[in-house]
Amino acid sequence: MQLNLPPQRFNAKRFFDVVISGAVLVLLSPLLLFMAFAVKTTSPGPVFFMGKRIGRGGIAFHIIKFRTMVKNAERIGSTITAEGDPRVTRIGRFLRRTKLDEFPTLINILKGEMSLVGPRPETPPWIPLYTPQERNVLLVQPGITSPATIQYRHEEKLLAGKTIEEAYPPIMRDKLRIELEYLQTRSLMGDLKIVAQTLLAIVHRHTPEQPLHHSHSSCESTGTRPRKQPATRGRNER
């Protein structure tokens, strides 16, 4: 699969990423400072969650988000986060619901580790389960949003009452299928449409069409290694 953009299109996409990310960080800096203050003063722990993810070329990096869970959440519970998880702080519930916890990830874009639109980066333990075809998502920069992100935007509700072993591998496969379809036809105009759809999804929060399988949402940690499952297909705090 050839996914490399021509130089002109790649430069246009990078210019779009940097301009939009920089502008949002500057324009919303008062709000971001207030959110940082709220996170720090309402529960013990750091302001930011920095989770290890696998990016372009299989290179690891740390995604930056506002912390939404109690300190050392990964040590006192599951590596997944379902609706009603008591480890999520009060301010964290608001940030997760509104997706405001994602704003610091714009820093990853400015650093060149991510893009506004692209396959969501996965935690290291799941990468070995990718098929050769699915590994094509690692040929491009991961993104903050994507068609799969929109489709599975209510992951925590979909996950309720399920375990990671039964819930995530099938949905991982479905997400990767959606991401690969996006990569086949991606364009700058298409990315603009996806950004607009993401904003509308956050604002309206319509009940999503139920996918065939359900997704997971892992806690603020590097995650534990999943048990391999024969013939299984497949948010952490993404």
> Does residue 23 lie in a domain region?
yes
Measure the CA dihedral 60/61/66/71, to 10°: 60
Domain count, the chain: 1
Q: Is the pLDDT of residue 36 over 80?
A: yes
45-78 confidence digits (pLDDT tens): 999 999 899 999 999 999 999 999 888 776 676 5
> Does residue 220 lie in a domain region?
no
CA proximity to 126, closest of 3, 50, 220, 236: 236
**Tokens encoding 173:** 């496969």
Residue range of the domain that includes 167: 7-204
> Does residue 218 lie in a domain region?
no
135 three-class SS = helix
Instruction: Over range 149-164, report the average pLDDT.
Output: 75
> Does residue 234 lie in a domain region?
no
In sequence order, what E strands does the chain have? 48-54, 60-66, 115-117, 143-145
> Does residue 64 lie in a domain region?
yes
108-126 confidence digits (pLDDT tens): 999 999 999 999 999 898 8
> Does residue 82 lie in a domain region?
yes
User: pTM value?
Assistant: 0.81
Confidence label for 85 from pLDDT (cuts 50, 70 and 90): confident
In sequence order, what E strands does 38-106 have? 48-54, 60-66
The residue whose two tokens read 């998880």 is 85
